[in-house]
Amino acid sequence: MAQQFDLIVVGAGMVGATLARALADTSLRIAVLDALPLDQPLTARATDSGYDPRVSALSAASENILANLDAWSRIAPAYRSPYRYMCVWDGEGTGEIRFDAGVLGENRLGHIVENWRVQQAVLDSLAATEVSLLGGQRVTELIREPAGWRLQLASGEAVQAPLVVAADGARSRLRELAGFAMREWDYLHHALVTTVQVEKPHAETAWQTFLPSGPLAFLPLNDREGGHYCSIVWSLLPEQAQRIMALDDAQFMLELQTAFEGRLGRILAADQRHCIPLRQRHAQRYVMPGLALIGDAAHSIHPLAGQGVNLGLLDVAELSAVLQAALQRGEDIASLPVLQRYERRRMGANLSMMAAMEGFERLFHADALPLRWLRNSGMQWLNGQGMVKAGIVRRAMGLGNRLPALAHAPELVGESPDY
pLDDT given at position 364: 47
Residue 33 included in any domain = yes
Measured from the Cβ of residue 215, the count of other Cβ atoms closer than 10 Å reads 24
Residues 16-33: pLDDT tens digits? 999 999 999 999 999 999
pLDDT given at position 82: 95
Residue 257 included in any domain = no
pLDDT band of residue 355 (cuts 50, 70, 90) is low
pLDDT given at position 362: 53
**Three-state DSSP state, 238:** helix
Q: How far is CA 387 from the centre of its chain?
A: 27
pLDDT given at position 306: 61
Asked whether the predicted pLDDT for residue 155 surpasses 90, the reply is: yes
Cα atoms found within 13 Å of the Cα of residue 239, Cβ hemisphere only: 0
For residue 192, give the nearest of 238, 161, 148, 153 by alpha carbon: 238
Gap between the Cα atoms of 15 and 314, Å rounded: 9
Q: What is the mean pLDDT of residues 283-311?
A: 88
Gap between the Cα atoms of 125 and 9, Å rounded: 16
Gap between the Cα atoms of 41 and 43, Å rounded: 7
Asked whether the predicted pLDDT for residue 41 surpasses 60, the reply is: yes
Asked whether the predicted pLDDT for residue 281 surpasses 60, the reply is: yes
Give yes or no for a contact between 288 and 209, defined as CB atoms under 8 angstroms apart. no
Q: What is the mean pLDDT of residues 136-163?
A: 96
pLDDT given at position 368: 45
Torsion (CA) 211, 214, 220, 226 in degrees, nearest 10: -70
Q: Are strands 55-59 and 110-114 parallel, antiparallel or unpaired?
A: antiparallel
Gap between the Cα atoms of 386 and 153, Å rounded: 55
Helix axes 60-68, 308-329, angle to 10 degrees: 40
Residue 206 included in any domain = no
**Poorest-pLDDT segment among 212-226, 227-241, 352-366, 369-383:** 369-383
Q: What is the mean pLDDT of residues 332-345?
A: 97
Residue 372 included in any domain = yes
Q: What is the mean pLDDT of residues 290-313?
A: 86
Residue 283: DSSP 8-state: E
Asked whether the predicted pLDDT for residue 377 surpasses 90, the reply is: no
Residue 150 belongs to what H/E stretch?
A: strand 148-153
Residue 199 included in any domain = no
Q: What is the mean pLDDT of residues 230-237?
A: 94
Residues 387-401: pLDDT tens digits? 555 565 566 666 666
Cα distances from 15 to residues 79, 298, 309, 312, in angstroms, run: 19, 12, 7, 6
Residue 104 belongs to a domain with what CATH number? 3.50.50.60
Percent of the chain with pLDDT over 70: 84
Q: What is the mean pLDDT of residues 148-165?
A: 97
Residue 236 included in any domain = no
Residue 286: DSSP 8-state: S
Asked whether the predicted pLDDT for residue 293 surpasses 90, the reply is: yes
Asked whether the predicted pLDDT for residue 414 surpasses 70, the reply is: no
Residue 351 included in any domain = yes
Residues 6 or more apart whose CB falls under 8 angstroms from that of 168 comprise 10, 11, 13, 16, 174, 175, 297
Give yes or no for a contact between 288 and 336, defined as CB atoms under 8 angstroms apart. yes
Residue 297 included in any domain = yes
Gap between the Cα atoms of 204 and 253, Å rounded: 22
pLDDT band of residue 379 (cuts 50, 70, 90) is low
DSSP 255-284: HHHHHTTTTT--EEEE---EEEEEEEEEES
For the chain, the distance separating the N- and C-terminal CA atoms, rounded to the nearest angstrom, is: 36
pLDDT given at position 2: 87
Gap between the Cα atoms of 233 and 218, Å rounded: 7
Cα distances from 262 to residues 194, 235, 265, 305, in angstroms, run: 17, 18, 5, 21
Number of compact structural domains in the chain: 1
pTM for the model: 0.90
290 or 96, greater pLDDT:
290
pLDDT given at position 391: 61
pLDDT given at position 376: 53
Asked whether the predicted pLDDT for residue 227 surpasses 60, the reply is: yes
Gap between the Cα atoms of 209 and 275, Å rounded: 19
What are the residue ranges of helices labelled H in 222-307? 238-245, 249-259
Q: What is the mean pLDDT of residues 137-162?
A: 96
**Poorest-pLDDT segment among 64-68, 160-164, 239-243, 276-280:** 276-280
Enclosing domain of residue 83: 3-184+279-408
Q: What is the mean pLDDT of residues 61-82?
A: 96
Q: What is the mean pLDDT of residues 190-219?
A: 93
Q: What is the CA radius of gyration of the chain?
A: 22
Residues 6 or more apart whose CB falls under 8 angstroms from that of 368 comprise none
Gap between the Cα atoms of 212 and 366, Å rounded: 8
Q: What is the mean pLDDT of the chain?
A: 88
Angle at 13 between CA 11 and CA 15, to 5 degrees: 90
